């Protein structure tokens, strides 16, 4: 089974900061990687698919990059509504989620 | 608009069974893979199972294999998860989600809580 490892687990940042979250796969997954945002008590929302394609309606301050085993999600200028937990997910072989990265207010 | 509404959650004793349902609307259900994902209280997301559009391809996470059964009724636009031999560690919010495969899981239901406790 493919394992997904996110880092960091928690990230403290301020409004306006540039934020980067990393996701590593235990084996190559091509570009079959998605990123989700989840706020407390809510279902996750898709941000990025195929590693770098922005889902319709998602602000352009979010971007994804990478291929193979290493991927990043970048928020270019953190906004108040971006404080949430972010998950990567591979869909090359079945589906596996990373453990999550909580972005909290510094 | 796409809507996914789960039902069937509740409190069940260890070893018991429960059947979750997901009613889909706003898209052509029979065109899409569908997925169940769960989230234990205070924990991360765990993929549980998916089923192809026609129901002929099914996969399960190792943690539920042999105990859970996914199915669908395209005529009723509905997805199901039959859960048997439930354990305390199956306690979670269970989400039904649309899975277009190429473009990743794009719509989620609001979730239904399953609590396994004596």
Q: Closest Cα to residue B62, out of A100, A87, A34, A94?
A: A94
Cβ of B47 within 8 Å of Cβ of A43? The answer is: no
> What's the half-sphere exposure (Cβ side, CA atoms, 13 Å) at B102?
0
> Is A3 in contact with A25 (CB distance < 8 Å)?
yes
**Cβ within 8 Å of A, B 50-89:** 50, 59, 61-62
> Is B12 in contact with B113 (CB distance < 8 Å)?
no
Ranges of H-type helices in B17-81: none
- How close does chain A come to B112, measured CA to CA in Å? 11
- What is the per-residue pLDDT across A55-75, written as a single tens digit (0 to 9) for each? 999 999 999 999 999 999 999
- What is the per-residue pLDDT across B8-57, written as a single tens digit (0 to 9) for each? 999 999 999 999 999 999 999 999 999 999 999 999 999 999 999 999 99
B101, B103, B109 ranked by CB distance to A43: nearest: B109
């Amino acid at each position: 089974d493919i394992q997904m490892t996110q880092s960091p687990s928690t990230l403290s940042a301020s409004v306006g900061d540039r934020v980067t979250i990393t996701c590593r796969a235990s084996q190559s997954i091509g570009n079959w990687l998605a990123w989700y945002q989840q706020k407390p008590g809510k279902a996750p929302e898709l941000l990025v698919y195929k590693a770098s394609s922005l889902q319709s309606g998602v602000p352009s301050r979010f971007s994804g990059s990478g291929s193979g085993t290493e991927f990043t999600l970048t928020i270019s200028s953190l906004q108040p509504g971006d404080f949430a937990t972010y998950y990567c997910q591979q869909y090359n072989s079945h589906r596996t989620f990373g453990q999550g990265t909580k972005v909290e207010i510094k | 608009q796409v809507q996914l509404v789960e039902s069937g959650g509740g409190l069940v004793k260890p070893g018991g069974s429960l059947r979750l349902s997901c009613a889909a609307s706003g898209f052509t259900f029979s065109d899409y893979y569908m997925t169940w994902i769960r989230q234990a209280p205070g924990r991360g997301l765990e993929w549980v199972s998916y089923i192809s559009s026609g129901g002929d391809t099914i996969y399960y996470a190792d943690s539920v294999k042999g105990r859970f059964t996914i199915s669908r009724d395209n005529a009723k636009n509905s997805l199901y998860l039959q859960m048997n031999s439930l354990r305390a560690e199956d306690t979670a919010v269970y989400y039904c989600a649309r899975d277009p495969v190429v473009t990743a899981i794009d719509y989620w239901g609001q979730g239904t809580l399953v609590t396994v406790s004596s």
